[in-house]
Every structure is written in structure tokens, then in C-alpha cells.
Amino acid sequence: MTYTANHPVREQGKLRRAFASVFSFLQAMEATPFDYTLDRLERLERELGELRDELRRSRESGPVDVREDSAAGIKL
């Protein structure tokens, strides 16, 4: 039989088939630049949501009293 590009995989040895399937699985799990971009956007959206919540809470709390003493007891 002549070996061609359409050579069936079943004629390979068991170890070679297992290695090929593990390698193809690892390639499928590899992150792409598109995946990185989506992850980065998701983190930025989450951080934006947290900042919006913090801003909303600070607006709801009303004006803040400004004191002449700092937390360390030093006059400003």
C-alpha cells in the first residue's frame, strides 16, 4: 500500500495514536489572542461596574466632613 496524505490513522501504533490525540487536545486548549482580548474586556467591564457602584455609594452618602486633623493626628 502506498502511503498518501489520506493514510488512515488506525494503522498507526497505539502509542502514536494516543500521542496524536493528546497533542490535538492541547492545541485545542491553547489560548488565542482573541481569547486574551475577551478576558481583558471582561475584567475591564467588571472593574467599571465596581467603580460605578463606588461612585453611586459616595453620592448617596452625602457631603463629607473635612477635618483639620488627618488619621495620623497631624494637622494639615
Per residue of the chain (76 residues), give pLDDT as tens.
455 555 555 566 888 888 888 888 888 888 888 889 999 999 999 999 999 999 999 998 876 655 655 555 555 5
Indicate whether 17 belongs to any domain.
no
Indicate whether 26 belongs to any domain.
no
Closest CA to 19 of 7, 29, 9: 9
Indicate whether 75 belongs to any domain.
no
In DSSP terms, which residues pair with 75 in a beta bridge?
69
Number of folded domains that form the chain:
1
Indicate whether 10 belongs to any domain.
no
Q: How many CB atoms lie within 10 A of CB 12?
A: 13
Does pTM top 0.85 for this prediction? no
Three-class SS of residue 1?
A: coil
- The domain in which residue 56 lies consists of 31-60
Indicate whether 15 belongs to any domain.
no
Indicate whether 16 belongs to any domain.
no
Closest CA to 8 of 25, 20, 26: 20
Contacts of 20 (CB under 8 A, 6+ apart): 9, 12
